[in-house]
Amino acid sequence: MFIDLHMHECTYSKDSHLKLEEIVELAKKRGLGAVCITDHDDMGLKEYAAEYSKKTGFPIFVGIEFFSLQGDIVAFGIEEYPKERVNAQEFIDLVKAQGGICFSAHPFRNNNRGLEENLKIVHGLDGVEVLNGSTLPEANKKAADDAKELGLVTVGSSDCHVREKVGFFATYFPEDVYTMEDFMRVFKSGGCKPAYYWEGEYKIWDMETPIHKPFLLKE
């Protein structure tokens, strides 16, 4: 099963041009088995997403992309989150206290929103985003190298804000998941792998093959 773990919907992510209905439509077209809505510092779409998921029979997991003082962290399985920026370690500790999971988003993107060197300083991360649809290949590769060194789960996601990026990258789950509980259990199992969409299907990235240019979506 392939899931896009980092997506933005326009209701609560004001920099997004995508409605949930459009995200689901495009996700199905590209062969995704589920999507994750991770709006900026907000989980307001959770109730509507649950209703729409039930209506369509398509799994939608709502998390959050939280902008900590050291950089963005994506989290799932939480109910409470800070209403203002806090240290990355404080946010991670809050996630773990609630039994949630979290991963570093685009740690080396050149926009001052990644953990960068703090990736090796904080404790408690479950994974690292090693393929991000809005990040240069060199930065993605550095994230992959650090994730391997740290022994963290590696994931891919589109970080989409526009139609063209939906499903650009995704994450392979070794089991089909339909509930948040199963989603987190499989994530923690360590079997997830980053993947990219190419020539009408998803291919798992081995993290060793050099990436010289961004993969392009093809219908």
More confident residue, 134 or 209: 134
User: What's residue 210's pLDDT?
Assistant: 63
Q: Which two tokens stand for residue 38?
A: 């991770």
Q: How many Cα atoms within 13 Å fall on the side-chain side of residue 165?
A: 21
pLDDT range class, residue 209, cuts 50, 70, 90: confident
Q: Are 145 and 108 in contact (CB under 8 A)?
A: no
Catalogue all structural domains in the chain, each as residue range(s) with its CATH number: 2-204 (3.20.20.140)
User: What's residue 54's pLDDT?
Assistant: 97
**How confident is the model over 45-94, as pLDDT tens digits?**
999 999 999 999 999 999 999 999 999 999 999 999 999 999 999 999 99
- Report d(CA 195, CA 192) in Å as an integer: 10
Q: Which two tokens stand for residue 101?
A: 């999971």
- CB-based contacts of 188, cutoff 8 Å, min separation 6: 101, 126, 153
The answer to whether the pTM exceeds 0.85 is: yes
The mean per-residue pLDDT over the stretch 133-148 comes to 94
Q: What is the mean pLDDT of the chain?
A: 94
Q: Quote the DSSP letter at residue 203.
A: E
User: What's residue 212's pLDDT?
Assistant: 44
Q: Quote the DSSP letter at residue 59.
A: -
Res 219 pLDDT > 70: no
